Each structure stands twice: as structure tokens, then as C-alpha cells.
Amino acid sequence: MTQLVLHGMRRATDRVQLLARGTGQVPDISSLVPAEFGGPATPEEQRHATISCIIPAYNEQSTISEVLTSLLGQTRLPDAIHVIINNTDDDTPEIARRFEGEHQRVVKGELFTTVVHVHDIGENPDKKVGALNFGYYVSRGYDYILGVDGDTTLDRRCLEWLEKEMVTDPRIGGLSAIYTFDKSRVKGAMATFLVAGQRAQFAGFNMDNLVRGRNMAVLGGQCSLFSVRALETVMYRNHQSAPWVRDSEVEDSKLSLQIKDAGFSTKISARARAFVGPMETLRALHGQQVKWNFGGIDLLWPGQRGDNKGQPLHPNLRLRWYENVSMLFNISTRMAFLLLLAAALSIDAFVFNPVWLIPPVVATLLNLRIVASMHDKSASDIFYALLLAPAELYMWIRMGHFVTAWVQFFARVEKDNWAAQADAERGRGSAYVMPAVCAAATFVVLIFAWSQQSVGIQSAILSIGWPVLYLVTVLQTLFMVKKLVRRQRGFTV
């Protein structure tokens, strides 16, 4: 009887065991099986895994050289590196072609060989998604695909650790590195502040995933290793011609959900690290974060596309729901406190209570614990957490991104957030000032409305508003205390 085999799907009798390159092989339980019962796997049933690296590059002339250098300096080189240049009008192609061709490196007596290919696909309407899918097509036949952004450099052992974790657990469909930011080249007070905030933001996000069984909701495109079998299973199940879809603001989040639905796990590595390109201006940070937030909302909200049935309750989206609800509480408590404080001061009804110092103290301790968990923490990270004001200011900036994304979503604004982010990184656009303008206008309107009320109504508002704020703040503080005392099981971010 002929067994039907789909492209990329295993037969039940397929016993090929993938092995990691580099140091000694991972022990396999089959090696203990006596010969009379089939014995260990034969050499024909074992082989080293093969890895193709794809780098979508859009105007990356300032970083592509460092990215390729970090890849060629890995303790486990990829078997092939494909730089896919798209919609680019700078010198990225010329710089990348300096690395084109075969490269060899000997690590601990083992020879590694890789070939760098540079593909300039010109104008591409699907942008990064199109480049990623092009990379998939030229990587067919490999066991794993390593996706790396054009501004992401890898720790020298990053790929070695990713491969070892993947081959030892075939259930993993995608494995993300631990992301952080290289602050050594950041210049200027504003850039230093924003990068410190992004480092703390990513550190908290990574730790949340690590302590939750290393389950990763989003396999970020910055540096993730994908099983080709998992990608092809996703394509077959969802009737797609390529793994990444073009109808999502966050193509990596969508693919992560599909990999999970296909029966594979999505994980974050416990050791592999990568340094991503930071946003060094408010304009660039706004463009990036609004795109991320809007894409996340698109996945959370039912009915946005025909293929997202049941998505709002998807296991991978629990952390996103938590983040959105948490941000809603952060906005509510901060706005309410400022408004109630201004209202109370206007009628000489404010009395300071030392209890109000407890939430900031707990927040500072939590920020310090996040910094303590960083693998490469520095004095600037410690001062960022200890002074409280920088972390609080960065939270207000994040709240502006959150509100902008939700307003754009509910207003059904047809906007290309990919293009908006690209323009913002080039120093174009002024959308980043709108959250501050809207917040100021809201305060002015509410203060004016307050001044038109009688003293009796003002007193009633304060008598209700303060107790409600007390209750919500107590609940928020308890959640912070829970995160403060939770076990981190030795993980560093």
C-alpha cells in the first residue's frame, strides 16, 4: 500500500535523527536499546542538521556589514546566508556584496563552510513579508531557517545554542533568541534615555516568557530559528503558498499563532542572545511601537480577517491581553491621579498621605529587579530604574503609543504602518507629538468643566473618585508585588 506523503511532512517510519554541529552529540535514548530489539540508530539514520539564514534588508547600509560579520563569526556557521534586499535606495547591495561567496572557519578543530548569497529583488510590494517568503523559497531543502533582521547582530554562540535546543526537542517549531540592545554606540541624552527604556521593556517581556515555561507568544523576526517542517505544515493547513502572510501588521505574531495551531511549540531560548537595532528618537520609537500595538490589536479582535476564527482566545495571545489590560489600568490610574490632584488643589482639599509613596517604592524595586536580571546591565540601567522618573516618563510615552494604536483601530484608519515606521526612522512625520497634544487638550477641557461645577458637586466627585483610585492602585500594587517576589529560576535576559 502506497503511503501518501505531503511535501515537508514525515512518514511514520521516518527515523532520521538530526544532530547539532560543533561539540559532542546530544545523548539519544535509542543508543541504549539492545541489538536484538533493533539497536541504536544506524549512521544512515543520523545526520547533521542544515541551516539557511535569511536576512531581509531594507536600507541597511549602516548595519548590514556588522550583521554579516557577526554571522560569519558564529561558533556554528549557517550552511548558507541569503541577504534579500528589497525596496532599497541606499548602498546596502554594494556593502553586502563585499561578503558574497564562500567563507570557511575552524572552530575547535571542526571546519565550517558557508556561502553568502546577495539577492536584490528590487521593488517589492509585500516589503519585508515578500523578502521573507523569497528567503523561504531559496532555503527549501534545509532543516531550519534562521531569520535575522538587517540591523540585528548575534552573540558569537547564538546559533550554536539555538540549534542545540531545536534538535533536542523536535516539538519546537520556532525558537527565539533573547533580545536586548547594544548601547555602546548610543550618543546623546535622549537616545540614551530611550534605549534604557527599551532595554527595560524588552527585559521585562523576555522574563515574562522565560518564567512561563519559556513559551514565546511571538517569534520575533529579529532573530528566530524555524523548523522548515513546521513552516510547511502551516502552509498546508492554512492553504498558503508561503509561510508569512501579507495581511497582518505583525507577520511574526501571525506565523507564531499558526505554528502553535499546527501542534508545534514556540519557545524562547534560555541562552542564545541577539542585539537588535534600537529606536533612538521619539519619532522612530512611535512609528515602531504603534505598528506593533496595532498589529497586536488586529490579532486580538475577532473578525478582522477570514482566517482568525477563535483567535482572541488563542493561548499565545494571553500575554498580549494581559499587556493591554495592564496598560489600560496604567493610563486610568495616572490620568485619574493627576486630575483628582489638580481638582483637590483647586479647592484646597488635598491632604498628603504617606501611603501614596508605597506604589512608587514597589515600582522602583520591581524595576531594579528587572535590571538585576539583565545579562549585560550597566550603571545607566541601574540609574534608570533607581531614579523612577525616567521609567515613569517612558511609561507615559508607551501609553501614547497604546492610545494611538487603539484610536487608529477603532477609527478604521487605512494607514500603511510599515511605511509610517520607515518614514519615522528617516526623520519624517510628526505623528509622535499627537498623544501629548491630545493629553494636554483633555486636561484643559476637564479642568474647565471642573471649574464650572458647584462646590457641592466638586466635593461629591472627590469623595467618590479618591476611594475608587485607592482600590485600583492597591490592586495594581499587589500585582507588582507578585512579580517582584516570583521565582526567576536563574534566568537572565
Task: Write the CA distances from 118 to 80, 115, 396, integer angstroms.
Answer: 11, 10, 42
Is 22 among the domain residues? no
pLDDT higher than 60, residue 295: yes
% the chain with pLDDT above 70? 87
> Nearest to residue 253, comparing CAs of 325, 198, 322, 308?
308
Number of domains in the chain: 2
Q: Which of 295, 221, 227 is nearest to 264 (CA)?
A: 227
Asked whether 450 and 341 are in contact (CB, 8 A), the reply is: no
Q: Are residues 269 and 348 in the same domain?
A: no
Encode the chain in three state secondary structure.
CCCCCCCCCCCCCCCCEEECCCCCCCCCHHHHCCHHHCCCCCHHHEEECCEEEEEEECCCCCCHHHHHHHHHCCCCCCCEEEEEECCCCCCHHHHHHHHCEEEEEEECCEEEEEEEEEEECCCCCCHHHHHHHHHHHCCECECEEEEECCCCEECCCHHHHHHHHHHCCCCEEEEEEEEEECCCCCCCHHHHHHHHHHHHHHHHHHHHHHHCCCECCCCCCCEEEEEHHHHHHHHHHCCCCCCCCCCCCCHHHHHHHHHHHCCCEEEEEEEEEEEECCCCCHHHHHHHHHHHHHHHHHHHCCCCCCCCCCHHHCHHHHHHHHHHHHHHHHHHHHHHHHHHHHHHHHCCCCCCCHHHHHHHHHHHHHHHHHHHCCCCCCHHHHHHHHCCHHHHHHHHHHHHHHHHHHHHHHCCCCCCHHHHHHHHHCCCCCHHHHHHHHHHHHHHHHHHHHHCCCHHHHHHHHHHHHHHHHHHHHHHHHHHHHHHHCCCCCCCC
Q: Has residue 412 got a pLDDT over 70? A: yes
Of the residues 229, 254, 280, which one is the last residue of a structural domain?
280
Residue 128, domain member (yes or no)? yes
Same domain, 388 and 479: yes
Q: For residue 380, give the amino acid letter.
A: S
Domain assignment present for 6: no
Q: Provide the pLDDT confidence category of residue 322 given band limits of 50, 70 and 90.
A: confident
Is the separation of the CB atoms in 139 and 80 below 8 Å?
yes
Q: Is the pLDDT score of 395 beyond 70? A: yes
Q: For position 192, which CATH number holds?
A: 3.90.550.10
Q: What local confidence, expressed as pLDDT, does residue 251 receive?
A: 77
- Quote the CA–CA distance of 126 and 246 in Å, as a whole number: 6
Of 280, 309, 328, at which residue does a domain stop? 280
Q: Which amino acid is at 333?
A: T
Beta bridge partners of 17: 46
Q: What is the pLDDT of residues 350-371, one digit of tens each?
A: 888 888 899 999 999 999 999 9
Tell me the pLDDT band of 422, cut-offs 50, 70 and 90. low
Which of 160-164, 424-428, 467-471 has the weakest average pLDDT?
424-428
Each residue of 136-188: pLDDT tens digit?
999 999 999 999 999 999 999 999 999 999 999 999 999 999 998 877 778 88
Asked if 261 and 364 sit in the same domain, the reply is: no
423 pLDDT band (50/70/90 cuts)? low
234, 129: one domain: yes
At residue 431, does pLDDT exceed 90?
A: no
Residues 276 and 321 in one domain: no
Cα distance between residue 224 and residue 357, in whole Å: 42
Kindly report, residue by residue over 16-45, the tens digit of the pLDDT: 778 888 655 555 666 677 766 666 666 556
More confident residue, 236 or 430: 236
Q: How confident is the model at residue 249 (pLDDT cuts 50, 70, 90)?
A: low
pLDDT at 23: 57
> Is 149 found in the same domain as 98?
yes
The Cβ of residue 251 has, within 10 Å, a number of other Cβ atoms equal to: 22
- pLDDT bin (cut points 50, 70, 90) of residue 292 is confident
State the Cα–Cα distance between residues 255 and 263, nearest whole angstrom: 13
239 and 371 fall within a common domain: no
Measured distance CA(316)–CA(476) in Å, rounded: 23
Say if CB 41 and CB 30 are below 8 A apart: yes
pLDDT tens digits along 333-349: 999 999 999 999 988 88
Please state, in angstroms and rounded to a whole number, the distance separating the CA atoms of residues 95 and 285. Answer: 26
Q: Which of 34-43, 45-54, 258-267, 393-402 has the lowest mean pLDDT?
A: 34-43
| CA-to-CA dists, residue 33 to 38, 39, 197, 386, angstroms | 7, 5, 53, 57
Q: Does residue 308 surpass a pLDDT of 70?
A: no
The length of the chain, given as a count of residues:
493
- In terms of C-beta distances under 8 Å and separation of at least 24 residues, what long-range contacts does 12-15 make, across chains too? 15/41, 15/45
Residue 384 belongs to a domain: yes
Q: What is the CA radius of gyration of the chain?
A: 25
Amino acid 216: pLDDT: 87
**Residue 435: inside a domain:** yes
Range of the domain at 234: 51-280
pLDDT of 7 reads: 44
Cα-based torsion angle of the residue sequence 399, 482, 199, 286 in order, rounded to the nearest 10 degrees = -10
- Cα dihedral sign for 281, 286, 291, 293? positive
Q: How confident is the model at residue 5 (pLDDT cuts 50, 70, 90)?
A: very low
Q: Do residues 276 and 343 share a domain?
A: no
Q: What is the largest CA-CA distance in the chain?
A: 93
pLDDT band with cut points at 50, 70 and 90 for residue 425: low
- Encoded amino acid at 288, one letter: Q
490 pLDDT more than 50: yes
pLDDT at 8: 45
* pLDDT of amino acid 445: 92
Same structural domain for residues 321 and 261?
Answer: no
Instruction: Let me know whether 216 and 143 are in one domain.
Output: yes
**Is 293 part of a structural domain of the chain?**
no
* Least trusted range by pLDDT, from 13-22, 270-279, 280-289: 13-22
What is the rounded average pLDDT for all residues in the chain?
Answer: 86
Report pTM.
0.87
Verify that 271 and 397 share a domain, yes or no: no
Q: What is the pLDDT of residues 74-87, one digit of tens each?
A: 999 999 999 999 99
Q: How confident is the model at residue 275 (pLDDT cuts 50, 70, 90)?
A: very high
User: Do 331 and 258 have their domain in common?
Assistant: no
Distance CA(275)–CA(444), nearest Å, equals 42
Q: What are the phi and psi torsion angles at 364 (to 5°)? A: -65, -45
Residue 136's pLDDT is: 96
| Structural domain contains residue 18 | no
Task: List CB contacts of 136: < 8 A, sequence separation 6 or more.
Answer: 54, 145, 231, 242, 243, 244
What is the average pLDDT across 231-259? Answer: 87
Q: Which residues are registered as beta bridge partners of 215?
A: 267
> Which pLDDT score, from 0 to 100, does residue 70 have?
97
- What's the rounded mean pLDDT across residues 287-311? 70
Residue 306 confidence (pLDDT) above 50: no
Residue where a domain terminates, one of 252, 280, 308: 280
Any domain includes 28: no
In which band, very low, low, confident or very high, does the pLDDT at 294 lie, cut at 50, 70 and 90?
Answer: confident
Q: What is the pLDDT of residue 43?
A: 59
pLDDT greater than 70 at residue 2: no
State residue 465's pLDDT score. 92
